[in-house]
Every structure is written in C-alpha cells, then in structure tokens.
Amino acid sequence: MKKKLLSVLLCATMVAALFAGCGSKEEEAAAEPAAEEAEEPAKEAEEPAEETAEAATEGCPGVDGLNIGICIYKFDDNFMTLYRTELQKYLEAGGATVTVMDGKNDQAEQTNQIQNFITQGVDVLIINLVQSSAAEQVTDQCAAANIPVVFINREPEAAEEERWASEGIAATYVGADARQSGTYQGEIVLATENKGDFNGDGKVSYVMVMGDPENIDAQYRTEFSIKALTDAGVEVEKLDEQRGDWDQAKGQEIVANALTANGDAVEVVFCNNDAMALGALQAIEAAGRTVGEDIMLLGVDALVEALENVQSGKMTGTVFNDHIGQSHAAAEIAGKMAAGEAVDVQNMVDYIKVTNENAADILALLQ
Ligand code: BGC
C-alpha cells in the first residue's frame, strides 16, 4: 500500500503533473489520501493527483510510431543511467523507436551525434547536453531542420529559454529546480537536534563537494543548502569547497583531504549528488568519524545505495531527484511536440526530501 501511495504522491508532486505516467489505474485509485498523508510535498498536491489518475498508462502516450533520438552527456553517470533506462523503457512501451547515444562527456562528439540524428530525419530529439552553453547552437541546428528538441537535466540559460518563447522555436526544457534540492538539504540539517553544530561553538562548519560548476544544479545546490541554514539564523563556516564533477572517486578524495586538513572541525559534509556522498562516506569512515554522532552527510538523487545508507544512519539524508517523473514528462512532451503542439519552455518536476523516516518508502518505490 505504501508503495502505491507513494507512487501517487510522486505524481502529485510533479509540477507538470498533467503529464501522467506513474502507476497503473488501480494504483491511482487511492490518490486523495496520499496527498494528505504525504509529509513532504506538495504544494497543490491534490489537484494534480486527480488529473494524473485519469491519464495513467503503461507506456508513454502519443509516441507510437515516432523515431526518437536521445543524446546523453555520458553513460558513465549513476543518475543519468537510471534516467535514460526509464526514458527508453517508457518510450518503447509507447511504441516509439528509440536510439540512445553516449556523448562521452565531449560536446564536439555530442554535436556530431545530433547532426547525424538530424541527417537521419528523426521526429524529435531529447538531449542531455554535455555543456549547457551549447544550447543555442544545438537549438538553431534543430530548428533549421524543423526537428523539435527537448533538453533534459542540464538547463540552458534563462535568456536562451526566453528566446525559444519569443521566436516561437520548438524547444523546451524538462528538469527539476535545483534550488529546491539545496534547500531540502539545509532543512534536513535544521531538523536535527543540534542543527549541525556538534561541537557547540555556535556555528556549523562544513565542507561542500560540488558537481560540475558549469551545471546549474551544482550552482544552486551549493548556494541554497547553505542559504537554508543562514535564512534560519544559523551561523556557518565554510572549511572547504571543491568540484567533484558528480564523481564518487573525486568525492572520496576531496573529503579525505578536507578531513585531514580540518580534523574534527568538520561537522557537515554537503555533496551535490549521492555518487559523491558515497565517496565522502568512505572517507568519513576511513577517518574514524561516525555520521549522526560527530558529523552529518547529505547527498541528492536517492540512489539505492544512498537510500540504504540513510535508512541505516550512515547518511543523514538525501533528496529524491525524480528520474521517473522527469523522464516520463520529457517523453510525453516530446510526443506532443512531434505532433506539432506548443508546450511551455520550462517544465519542472518536484524533488522529495529523504530522511530515515521515509527512506524505506522511496526504496520500495524504486524496486
Ligand atoms: C544529478 C547528478 C548527475 C547530474 C548530471 C544531476 O541532476 O543530481 O547526479 O550527475 O545531474 O548532469
């Protein structure tokens, strides 16, 4: 039942929840109580939940017979692997023919892949850019070929999105507002007894492990996690801030160095994603520190391993980056654009805060 309720809850928290997509019709029957029971979300949860209940379906609606090209910034990324697997599954279940390319973290390589898709004449492109700054060039290439494009995960500049609207270009972005995930990380710390001040010196001394700093998710999570603390009147001290490029090994190295340099002074480790938090946990344990007793550790994404750590207390918390909601929204919007429908230039899906109180529910949802 929990699983069913959560699935409804997830649908309910999608800002763009009109795009249906999680759960079966039977599951959706329990929609209303779910929104009320939900701890976390959900501004205006009830209404979208009902709408979602109507539209639920197994495969993606509106994509049958379409030829869809998908470009992922690199396959070797834990979160984007979950995302692309779900995206492909949902599109293919809806009857689309899907080709997925690995950009290998190289924008020039990805730009070639996009060019090839354009030459093949795909009906619509779904693109996770290597560099968000390539959006303008890529959009113009697609527009010249009359191929609509759905950008995912790495959001282009606001000015570029405004250009799509003002020039009537068939381009859109589907993602999540990373400010929310940063704020949730800070709120998880604030909800603890000592609010992150283990040594009682009146301030929270932290280490920040950033993703790729060109990525707006990394910028916002870094800023808003700390802003949540300072907005609540908590004094903070930044001991270290390094880019870990979303990578577990780099997270481990950065936190190991920070712990060597600052010792027990480190009270909270914020990681912009779970992969880096898993690396950070290795460093924390190797340094003889214990999460929950003398240090806190936070991530984002809700990878299964991270959820298990939250459940067992080895991580203080994470934030569910809803790859199911995001991939379904991207797929459905791609179908609409291929059919010539106008769509909003920005489509956001909500995050969900995860602590040991609801980690099991999110785990159940993902399994
Ligand atoms: C995720 C990261 C991922 C990145 C890729 C972020 O939203 O939280 O785990 O590496 O997207 O762009």
**What are the pLDDT digits (tens) for 171-214?**
999 999 999 999 999 999 999 999 999 999 999 999 999 999 99
For tokens 């023919």, the residue is 97
The alpha carbon of 16 and the centre of ligand 1 are apart by a number of angstroms equal to: 20
pLDDT surpassing 90 at residue 56: no
Confidence at 45, pLDDT banded by 50, 70, 90: very low
Residue of 71, 74, 80 to mutate, ligand 1, most atoms within 8 A of C-beta: 80
Q: What's the whole-model pTM score?
A: 0.85
Contact 219 CB / ligand 1 (< 6 Å): no
What is the rounded distance in angstroms from the CA atom of residue 150 to the CA atom of residue 350? 18
Q: What would the mean pLDDT of 351-366 be, rounded to a whole number?
A: 96
More confident residue, 58 or 220: 220
- Please enumerate in sequence order all residues whose Cβ is within 8 A of that of 43, keeping only pairs 6 or more positions apart, or say none: none
Q: For the segment 70-126, what is each residue's pLDDT rounded down to a tens digit?
A: 999 999 999 999 999 999 999 999 999 999 999 999 999 999 999 999 999 999 999
Q: For the segment 312-322, what is each residue's pLDDT rounded down to a tens digit?
A: 999 999 999 99
The atom of ligand 1 lying closest to the CA of 181 is 8
For tokens 């039942």, the residue is 1
Protein residue with least CA distance to atom 11, ligand 1: 153
Question: Which pLDDT does position 367 carry in this prediction?
Answer: 83
Residue of 72, 74, 75, 77 to mutate, ligand 1, most atoms within 8 A of C-beta: 77
Pairing mode of beta strands 171-175, 124-127: unpaired
Q: Kindly report the number of other CB atoms within 10 A of residue 145's CB atom.
A: 16
Contact 215 CB / ligand 1 (< 6 Å): yes
What is the rounded distance in angstroms from the CA atom of residue 323 to the CA atom of residue 302? 10
Q: What would the mean pLDDT of 219-248 be, rounded to a whole number?
A: 98
Confidence at 58, pLDDT banded by 50, 70, 90: confident
Listed residue (135, 125, 179, 183) closest to 155, CA to CA: 135
Q: What would the mean pLDDT of 29-49 be, rounded to a whole number?
A: 35
Listed residue (177, 112, 171, 166) closest to 146, CA to CA: 171
Confidence at 7, pLDDT banded by 50, 70, 90: very low
